[in-house]
Structure 1
Amino acid sequence: MRNFIEKLFVVIFCLYNTYIIDPSKDLVFFFLISIIISFALDLFNSKRIKILIYLVFLLLCFYDSFFIYYLPLILYTMYLEFNFHSLLVLPLLFVNFSIINLLISTISIYFSHMTKGFNLFLNENKMIRDGLKEDAIYLRKYNEQLKIDREKNIYIAILTERNRIAREIHDSIGHSISSGILQVEALKVVSNDNTIKGLDLLQNTLSSGMDDIRNSIHNLYNDSLDLRKRIESLCDEAISLNISLNYKLDEPLSYDLKFDILSIIRESITNTIKHSDANKLNINLLTQPKFYSIIIKDNGKNFNETKDLLSKGIGLISMDEIARKYNGFLNYEFKDGFKIHITLMKG
Structure 2
Amino acid sequence: MRILWEKAVVATFCLYNTYKIKPDGNLAFYFLISIIFSLMMDLLNNKKIKAIIYISFAMICFSDTLFVFYLPLILYNMYLDFSTYIIFSLPLIFMNFSLSNSFISVISVYLAAMTKKHKLILDENKTVRDKLKGETLYLEKYNKQLKIDKEKDVHIAILTERNRIARQLHDSIGHVISSSILQVEALKIISTEDNVIKNLNILQKTLKNGMEDIRKSIHNLYNESLDLESQIEKLCNEVPAIDTEIIYRIEDNLSYNLKFDILSVVKEGITNCIKHSNATKLRISLFSQPKFYSIIIKDNGNNFDKKALLSTKGIGLVSMKEIANKYNGFLNYKFDNGFKIHLTLMKG
TM-score bracket, shorter-length normalisation: 0.5 to 0.7
Cross-structure match for 2:291: 296
The root-mean-square deviation of aligned C-alpha atoms, in Å, is: 3.0
| Aligned counterpart, 1:166 | 166
Task: Tell me which residue corresponds to 1:217.
Answer: 218
| SS of residue matched to 1:295 | coil
Please give the per-residue CA displacement for 1:213-253, whole angstroms capped at 9, x wherever unaligned. Answer: 11211321342365789xxxxxxxxxxxxxxxx98237xx7
> Structure 1 residues 24 and 37 mapped into 2: Cα distance closer, same or farther (>3 Å)?
same
CA distance, structure 2, for counterparts of residue 191 and residue 87 of structure 1: 125
| Alpha-carbon distance between aligned partners in 2 of 1:13 and 1:186, rounded to the nearest angstrom | 122
- TM-score of the superposition, structure 1-length normalised? 0.63
Residues 83/161 of structure 1: CA separation in 2 closer, same or farther (3 Å cut): same
Please say which of residues 74-83 and 169-178 is displaced more in the overlay. 169-178
> Which one has a bigger Cα radius of gyration?
1
Query: Structure 2 vs 1, CA of residues 226 and 160 (structure 1 numbering), >3 Å: closer, same or farther?
Result: farther
CA distance in 2, matches of 1:247, 1:220: 27
Taking the aligned partners of 1:76 and 1:169, their CA distance within structure 2 comes to 88
The C-alpha deviation readout for 1:55-102, integer Å capped at 9, x for no partner, is: 211111222222222111000011111111222211221232222221
CA contact (8 A) 1:284 1:296 kept: no
* Structure 1 unaligned residues grouped into runs of 5+: 230-245, 266-282, 286-293, 299-347
1:133 matched to which residue of 2? 133
User: Does the C-alpha gap of structure 1 residues 70 and 225 become closer, same or farther in structure 2, counting only changes over 3 Å?
Assistant: closer
Which residue does 2:90 correspond to in 1? 90
**Counterpart contact for 2:79–2:86, Cα < 8 Å:** yes
Letter in 2 for 1:138: Y
Q: Summarize the Cα distance change of 1:177–1:225 in structure 2 as closer, same or farther, 3 Å threshold.
A: farther
* CA distance in structure 2 between the partners assigned to 1:59 and 1:115 by the alignment: 28
Give distance in 2, aligned partners of 1:211 and 1:179: 14
Structure 1 residue 53: Cα displacement: 1.4
Matched residue SS, 1:203: helix
Paired position in structure 2 for 1:156: 156
Task: Work out whether residues 181 and 203 of structure 1, in 8 Å CA contact, stay in contact via their aligned partners in 2.
Answer: yes
The answer on whether the counterparts of 2:73 and 2:108 sit within 8 Å (CA) in structure 1 is yes
Which position in structure 2 is the counterpart of 1:180? 180
How far apart are 1:110 and its partner, in Å? 0.5
Matching residue's letter, 2:204: Q
Aligned residue for 2:68?
A: 68
How far off is 1:183 after superposition?
3.0
Q: Secondary structure at the match of 2:178?
A: helix
CA separation of 1:247/1:151 partners in 2, compared to 1, >3 Å: closer, same or farther? farther
Separation in structure 2 between the aligned mates of residue 12 and residue 138 of structure 1, nearest angstrom: 50
- Counterpart of 1:189 in structure 2 is 189
- Cα-to-partner distance string for 1:297-343 (whole Å, 9 max, x where unaligned): 79xxxxxxxxxxxxxxxxxxxxxxxxxxxxxxxxxxxxxxxxxxxxx
Q: Distance in 2 between matches of 1:119 and 1:38?
A: 19
Residue 227 and residue 12 in structure 1: after superposition, are their counterparts in 2 closer, same or farther (change >3 A)?
closer
Identity level (%):
56
Q: Distance in 2 between matches of 1:284 and 1:15?
A: 76
